[in-house]
Structure 1
Amino acid sequence: MKKTILFILALSLCFSTAAVAASAKVTIKYKDGYYFGYTKNKLPHGKGTRVWERTLRYDGDWVNGQRQGQGYLLFATSLEAGEIISEYTGQWKNDTFHGKGELSDSGYQLEKFGGSHYINYDEVDYMYISDDTYNGEFKNGQREGSGKYNFLLTNDETNVTTQVTYQGEWKKGFMDGKGTLTRIVNEKTEKYVGGFIKGLKHGKGTETLSNKSAKTTKTCQVVYKNGKKMSATSCK
């Protein structure tokens, strides 16, 4: 009986040791960096950290060598004017952003900025420092679903700051559907509530222009087509 008990204990110890060994963190070296964490079939699987050359790092969940689950990514994009530092925290699927998450960027923008689906205003010829955050839903690496976007733009030459906020629907990375877009420059505020298509105001909506210093407010029923204002009625 004692021998049987000792055998069972020894066998349990062997399985326990094997389980610890199988789940131990390992380091995998690549030409462009390394991975440190748990693996399965020699692939990242479970919790782990992948570091690439330059500023590129992922900490989070892995499934069969792909980022999947919850994770944090830090990366940099090189531009003529400098670098944009980006951070993403949220859900992943098939190695890309998918589900709910937060994506933020900060750094210098190109000298020619504007006309993008973010703010839809005229191009300017100055250097800008930007800071923006999107908090919401993603699908296959793009903003899609419901989300809130905050954008802060500072003119390096005039030191004028533009604040833009959008809350609403997104599709394939663009503002698309119903939403509210607010733009504040100094004491002037422009607010549009209505439809969007591919990042442009489109369809019926309400537009409010206010000036804090002049203590004036004007609200109109508007109709846009692909970003162009077609009519403004019932203004008061």
Structure 2
Amino acid sequence: MSLIKLREQYPPPALEEKSHSELLHTVYAPNGNEYTGEWKNHKKHGKGIQVWKKSGSIYDGDWKYGKPNGYGTYSVLPPGENKYVVRYFGAWKNGKKHGIGTYYYSNLSFYEGEWIENLRSGWGIMRYENADIYEGEWMNDETHGQGTYQFVNGNWYEGSWREGKKSGRGKFCYSDKGQLYEGVWVDGIAKCGTLSDFGREEATTPTKHPIPQVGLVDMELVVQDAQSHYLNQC
């Protein structure tokens, strides 16, 4: 599922229609915090900008009865800097990241996808600090479900995940060696499967000899029987 389709499927929650009695106000708190925007029944409601003095962070976007709700941008002021840096932009619900949004962990690392109550949950893409990329399903801030992990060296894993680890059926391509492992994983460890030549001609450091053929009458039956034991552990 693409992120474009996700945005169409889960648009930011809409605010209630504003009455003509609502006014734009700037309010300063004793601790130095500042809010400029719309109000309803003495609560932040509508469009507004909140500045937190102590943390040096800003939220600019939609509010609903005192909490960020709808679409908004959260920015921070790094220590020693005079320019704000966007940390998150996207959908909010009841003061939490909820829906489709993008979070920047650093200049090199970010997540774009679905959120549920501040946790990465649903479909999303994560680019890590070392340039590795994961695209797939998440649950409770961990890779969980079906997904593909692309390593910066060209290797990749495609298959099932559980609580942040490879678990279930999957494929791991050693593109540098020109080999492909297909099998079952449990808690991040390959337990049972087959290893075959895959792209040896393009491999940067291929093995000295191709993998020999296994002389079993019914190799698939043997592998399936062995894998069923480990699948029960996933």
Q: Secondary structure at the match of 1:131?
A: coil
Q: What does residue 47 of structure 2 align with?
A: 25
Shift, 1:216, TM fit: 5.7
Shift, 1:94, TM fit: 1.1
Is 1:70 aligned to 2:70, yes or no? no
How many equivalent residue pairs? 169
Q: Secondary structure at the match of 2:19?
A: helix
Is 1:168 aligned to 2:156, yes or no? no
Q: Secondary structure at the match of 1:85?
A: coil
Structure with greater strand percent: 1
Whether the 8 Å CA contact 1:144–1:170 is kept in 2: the answer is: yes
TM-score (norm 2): 0.64
**Among residues 181, 184, 196, which one is paired with 2:175 in the alignment?**
184
- Which whole-Å CA distance do the structure 1 matches of 2:103 and 2:70 have between them? 16
Partner AA of 1:97 in structure 2: R
Shift, 1:15, TM fit: 3.0
What is the Cα-based RMSD across aligned positions, in Å?
Answer: 2.8
Provide Cα deviations, 1:147-180, integer angstroms capped at 9, x if missing partner.
011011xxxxxxxxx3211110000111111000
Whether the 8 Å CA contact 1:175–1:200 is kept in 2: the answer is: yes
- Which whole-Å CA distance do the structure 2 matches of 1:45 and 1:73 have between them? 17
Whether the 8 Å CA contact 2:124–2:135 is kept in 1: the answer is: yes
- Which whole-Å CA distance do the structure 1 matches of 2:178 and 2:77 have between them? 43
Whether the 8 Å CA contact 2:73–2:86 is kept in 1: the answer is: no
- Which whole-Å CA distance do the structure 1 matches of 2:21 and 2:196 have between them? 68
- Which whole-Å CA distance do the structure 1 matches of 2:110 and 2:180 have between them? 28
Q: What does residue 145 of structure 1 align with?
A: 145
**Among residues 72, 75, 78, which one is paired with 1:51 in the alignment?**
75
- Which whole-Å CA distance do the structure 1 matches of 2:46 and 2:66 have between them? 12
- Which whole-Å CA distance do the structure 2 matches of 1:53 and 1:41 have between them? 26
- Which whole-Å CA distance do the structure 2 matches of 1:207 and 1:63 have between them? 47
- Which whole-Å CA distance do the structure 2 matches of 1:25 and 1:163 have between them? 45
Q: What does residue 10 of structure 1 align with?
A: none
TM-score (norm 1): 0.63
- Which whole-Å CA distance do the structure 1 matches of 2:161 and 2:46 have between them? 42
- Which whole-Å CA distance do the structure 2 matches of 1:72 and 1:134 have between them? 14
